Structure 1
Amino acid sequence: MDTDSLTRFLLSLVILVVAAHFFGHWFERLKLPRVIGEISAGIFLGPSVLGALSWGAYDLFLFDEFVGHKVLLNAFYWLGLCMLMFTSGFHIQRRFPADERRDISLLVIITSTIPFALGWWAVSFIPVEHYMQHTANILAFKIVFAVSVTVTSIPVISKIFSDLRLIQTKFAKVVVATATLHDIVLWTAIAVATTVQSRGDVHVGELILAAVICLVFIAFFLVAGPWLIDLIIRLAPRFSHVYPVGYLIIVCLALAALASYIDVGAVFGALIAGMLFGSLTQPEFQEARETIRTFSMSFFVPVYFAMVGLQINFAGNLDLLLTLEYLVFSSAVVVLTVWPAMRLAGHSGMAAWNFSVAMTTRGGPGIVLASLAYSIGIINQIFFVTLIITALVTSLLCGIWFRFVIDRRLELYEGAPAPMAPDKAPREAGHAPPRETAVRP
C-alpha cells in the first residue's frame, strides 16, 4: 500500500466514524434509536444517496479507490461485529431464577419453531422464481425464507436496550438470553442452507453433521470454557493480570477464528467469549471489560453499523408492495406467536406485548442473513432489499416503542415499571448520571 492509498483508507474510516456519530446523535435527539442513525449514515454515504448524486465518483474516491480498499473496510466491519457481540456477551447471564428460566425456555421454543414452520409453509404460496437467483437451490431458499421470518437481532436489540439504559433490567436479560439461544438454532439452519447451496445435492448425513458441529462447539465452550479461562489465567498470571485488555481480546479473536474455521460463525465465537469473561469478578477484569466496551462503542461498532448501511442500494431494487406484505407477514407471525404464549404463561398484556415487539426486531442478523443469502446466490436483489428494509423498520419501531414505554414509565416485566428515561433521570434527580457500566451494543 502506497502513501496515497493509506491516506484514502484512513480518510474513509474517519468519514464512516464521524458520520455514524453525527447521525446517531441526531437520531437520539429525535428520540429514535441511535443504532438506526448509525446505519442511516452508511445509507447516506453509500450508493443509495451520495453514490446516486455523485454519478459514480464517490465509489472511486471514498470506498473503492484502490485494489483491496473494500477488503480492508470489510475487515473493520467484521471486527466491529465481533466486538459488538463480545461486549454483548458480558451481561448475558448463564443462570436464571426459575421463573425467568421458564420464560426463556418458552420463548426459545415457540420463536424457533412456529414462525419457522409458518415461513416454510408460506413459500408454497409465493412465486419464488421472482425472488431467487437462477442458480439457487429451492431447499436453500426455503430455509433462508423461514429463518428470515424468525430471526431476532441480538446486536440491535442489545444496543437499543443499552442506549435506553434497560440492559440491566430482568426484561432485557430475558430477551437477550432468549435471542441468543434462539439465534444459535437459526444460524445452525443457515449453516445447513449454505451447505445445500454450495454442494447442490447433499446427503442427510452431511446436513446433520453440519448442525451437530455447530451445537457441539457452543455446548463445549459454555460448559468447559470457564475451566479453560481459569487455566490460562494460572498459566500466564502476569500477562492476564498486567494486560487484561489484551488477554480478553486475544481470547475473543481466537474463539471467533475457531468458530469461523469450523463454519459455526465468528460472531458466535465472540459472543461466547463475552459470556465467559462476563463472569470474572476480579477488579482488573471488570475494568478491562469497561475499557473494551468504551473503545468498541466509540469506534469499531459505529464502523460496523455504518458499513451495514453502506452495502445497501435501493435504486431499481425496491418493490414497495412486496416489502409491505413481507413486513406485515413476518411481524404478525412473531407477534401472534409470542403474545398469546406469554399471556398463557401468566404475564400481563403489556409485558406480553413488550416481548412481542422485542422479538420482531430483525436488525443486524437480518441484514447479515440477507447479505449472505445474496452473495452465495440464493436470493436476488429484490428480495435482498426487502429483507434489509424489514430489518431497519422493525429495529426502528422497536426503539420507538421502548422509548415510549420508559418515557411514560409503563410496565416492562412482572408488574415493574420501566426505569426513568436516561435524558430525564439526571435532571429530575438533581445530580449527574451514574457511570454506566452496562454494555452498549
Structure 2
Amino acid sequence: MTYTTSDTAHVLLALAILLATAHGCGHLFARLRQPRVVGEILGGMVLGPTLLGAVAPAWQAWVFSSRTATGFVLGAVYQVGLLLLMFASGTEVRSTFESGERRTAVLITVVGTLVPFVGGLWFFGWFDLQVFIGPANNTTAFLLVLAVAMAVTSIPVISRIMLDLGILSTPFARIVLSAAVLEDVLLYAVLAVTLGLVGNRPDDIVGLPALLSLQRNPTMSTLYHVAVTLAFFTLALAAGPSLFQRAARSRLNVIHRSSPTAFLLVVVLLVSGISLVLGVAPLFGAFVAGILAQTEDAQLQQAQQAIKQFAFASLVPMYFALVGLRLDLSTGFDVAFFVALLVYASALKSASVYVGARWAGERPVGARNLAAALNCRGGPGIVLASLAYDAGIVNGAFYAMLVLLAVVTSIAAGSWLEAVVRRGSALR
C-alpha cells in the first residue's frame, strides 16, 4: 500500500475530530457528574452511523472509512489504546489489598460473581439468542461472553467515580476495588479462554497454537487455552512481581536508568507479546503488566503517572470514541429485549452483591451502596463487547446492547453514589 501526503492529512483530520469530540463530550458528562467514559462513547456515537451517518452519510464515510490508510491507523489507535487502558486498570490492583475488610470483599466476590455468571447461562435458555451469535458461530463462546457480561465490574470507571466524589480513600472504596479486582482477574481469565475457543482462523493463529496446529483439533485447542490461560495468570502473578523488582533494580538495566517511563512501556509491550505468543489475547498481558508494576520506587510511580496522563489524554479517549463509532442503533436494535437484558443483569448483579455483603456482616445501607457500585460495568464491559465483536462471537446488534449495558449501569452507579454523598448519608 502506498502512503501519500494526502493520506497523512486525512488521518490527522480524522484523529483530530475523534479526539476533540471524545474530550468535549467526556468533559460535558464530567461536569454533569457522570462517568467521563460515557461521554467519550457517546461522542463516538455522534460521529458514527447512529447520528452523523444518518444525517450526512457521505461526509461521515469520507472522514472515517473512505481511505484504507485511515482505517489502519484508527485500528492501531484502537488496539494501543486498549493495551494502555488495561495496563492502567492493572495498576489499580496495587492499593486494593491493604485494608482489613477482606472477608467482605471475598464474600462479595464469590457470591457477586458466581450467581450472575450462572444466571447469564440460565438467561440463554429463556430467549432465542441464536440471532445474536456472530460469524464465528460458536455457541459455547457466546454463552461465556453472556455470563461474563452479567458478572463483570469496572475498576477504572468506579474508581474514577469515587475519586471525583472524594471517597476513594474510604473503607467503602477499598472494599469495592478489592472485590472488583478479584472479580475481574477471574472473569478476564474466563474471557481469555473464550477468545481462545474462536481463534481458529488461519490468520488468527500465531505462536505456540500455530506450531501445535491447534486449529485442526478443537478439543485440544480448548484444553490448551484453558491450561495456558490459568498457567499464564498464575505464574505471572506469583513470580512476576519479584522478577519485575529485580529487573528494575538491576545495574544492567540501562533502559530504566535512561527512562523509567520507557522501561514500563517495554514491560507492557513485552508481557503483551509473550501472552500473544502463548495464544492469550495481548490485552491480558497488558493487564498483568500493570499488576506486576507494584513498586515503592518513586521514579517508577512517576513513570506510571506519566503513562496514564498521556494515555487518558489521547489514546484511551479515542479508544472509547471508536467503540461508540462502531455502534449502529439505527438498524437491528431490539429495544424491548435490551430493556429486559438491562433489568435482568442489574437485578442479578445487585442482588447477589447485596446478599454477599449481608452475609459478611455489612449493614443494609452498606450492602445497598456496595450493590449499586459493583453493578457498574464500565470499561471492562465495553472491552468485553469489543473483543467479542472483533472475534465474531456476537453480531453488531448484541455488541451494541453489551456496550449500552455497560454505559447505562455506569451512569446508574455514578448517580446513586453521587446522591448518597450529596445527602451526607453513610456509605456503610
Normalised by the length of structure 2, the TM-score is: 0.88
Partner amino acid for 1:289?
Q
2:352 maps to what in 1?
Answer: 337
Q: Using the TM superposition, name which of 235-244 and 301-310 deviates more.
A: 235-244
Mapped contact 2:96–2:178 kept (Cα < 8 A): no
In the aligned structure 1, how far is the partner of 2:377 from the partner of 2:257?
A: 38
1:53 maps to what in 2?
Answer: 55
Match of 1:312, SS? coil
Match of 1:102, SS? helix
> What is the Cα deviation at residue 243 of structure 1?
0.9
> What is the Cα deviation at residue 166 of structure 1?
3.9
> What is the Cα deviation at residue 15 of structure 1?
1.4
Q: 1:132 to 1:229 in 2, by over 3 A?
A: closer
2:24 maps to what in 1?
Answer: 22
Q: 1:163 to 1:3 in 2, by over 3 A?
A: farther
The equivalent position to 1:395 in structure 2, one of 391, 405, 410, is: 410
Show CA shifts across 1:184-221 (max 9, x none).
32233333333444559966554343122112212212
Q: Using the TM superposition, name which of 251-260 and 320-329 deviates more.
A: 251-260
> What is the Cα deviation at residue 41 of structure 1?
1.0
The equivalent position to 2:400 in structure 1, one of 371, 385, 391, is: 385
Mapped contact 1:188–1:264 kept (Cα < 8 A): no
Mapped contact 1:322–1:386 kept (Cα < 8 A): no
Normalised by the length of structure 1, the TM-score is: 0.85
Q: What RMSD in Å do the two structures reach over aligned CA positions? A: 2.4
1:108-187 map, 5 Å: 108-133=109-134, 136-187=137-188
1:320-399 map, 5 Å: 320-399=335-414
Q: 1:405 to 1:260 in 2, by over 3 A?
A: farther
1:422 maps to what in 2?
Answer: none
Mapped contact 2:25–2:43 kept (Cα < 8 A): yes
> What is the Cα deviation at residue 376 of structure 1?
3.5
Q: Does 1:43 align with 2:59?
A: no
In the aligned structure 2, how far is the partner of 1:147 from the partner of 1:63?
A: 31
Mapped contact 2:189–2:233 kept (Cα < 8 A): no
Structure 1's unaligned 5+ residue stretches are: 414-441
In the aligned structure 2, how far is the partner of 1:165 from the partner of 1:90?
A: 20
1:248 maps to what in 2?
Answer: 264
2:237 maps to what in 1?
Answer: 222
2:69 maps to what in 1?
Answer: 68
Q: 1:69 to 1:167 in 2, by over 3 A?
A: farther
Q: Using the TM superposition, name which of 399-408 and 130-139 deviates more.
A: 130-139
> What is the Cα deviation at residue 240 of structure 1?
0.9
In the aligned structure 1, how far is the partner of 2:299 from the partner of 2:134?
A: 51
Partner amino acid for 1:107?
I
Show CA shifts across 1:69-116 (max 9, x none).
222112112222222222233342377357422223222222332111
Partner amino acid for 2:279?
D
Q: Using the TM superposition, name which of 1-10 and 399-408 deviates more.
A: 399-408
Q: Does 1:300 align with 2:315?
A: yes
In the aligned structure 1, how far is the partner of 2:341 from the partner of 2:96?
A: 36
Q: Using the TM superposition, name which of 211-220 and 148-157 deviates more.
A: 148-157
In the aligned structure 1, how far is the partner of 2:170 from the partner of 2:283?
A: 24
Partner amino acid for 1:73?
L
Mapped contact 2:87–2:288 kept (Cα < 8 A): yes
In the aligned structure 2, how far is the partner of 1:63 from the partner of 1:3?
A: 17
In the aligned structure 2, how far is the partner of 1:87 from the partner of 1:134?
A: 32
Q: Using the TM superposition, name which of 148-157 and 246-255 deviates more.
A: 148-157
Aligned pair count? 411
Match of 1:47, SS? coil
Show CA shifts across 1:383-415 (max 9, x none).
2222222111111111212222232333234xx
Mapped contact 1:35–1:159 kept (Cα < 8 A): no
In the aligned structure 2, how far is the partner of 1:208 from the partner of 1:149?
A: 25
Mapped contact 1:100–1:174 kept (Cα < 8 A): yes
Match of 1:251, SS? helix
Partner amino acid for 2:292?
L
Mapped contact 1:241–1:284 kept (Cα < 8 A): no
Mapped contact 2:45–2:327 kept (Cα < 8 A): yes
Partner amino acid for 2:26?
G
Structure 2's unaligned 5+ residue stretches are: 201-214
2:420 maps to what in 1?
Answer: 405
Match of 1:264, SS? coil
Match of 1:90, SS? helix
Mapped contact 2:96–2:174 kept (Cα < 8 A): no
The equivalent position to 2:289 in structure 1, one of 247, 260, 273, is: 273
Partner amino acid for 1:265?
A
Partner amino acid for 1:154?
I
Q: Using the TM superposition, name which of 245-254 and 356-365 deviates more.
A: 356-365
Q: 1:410 to 1:258 in 2, by over 3 A?
A: farther
In the aligned structure 1, how far is the partner of 2:217 from the partner of 2:152?
A: 25
In the aligned structure 2, how far is the partner of 1:116 from the partner of 1:245?
A: 38
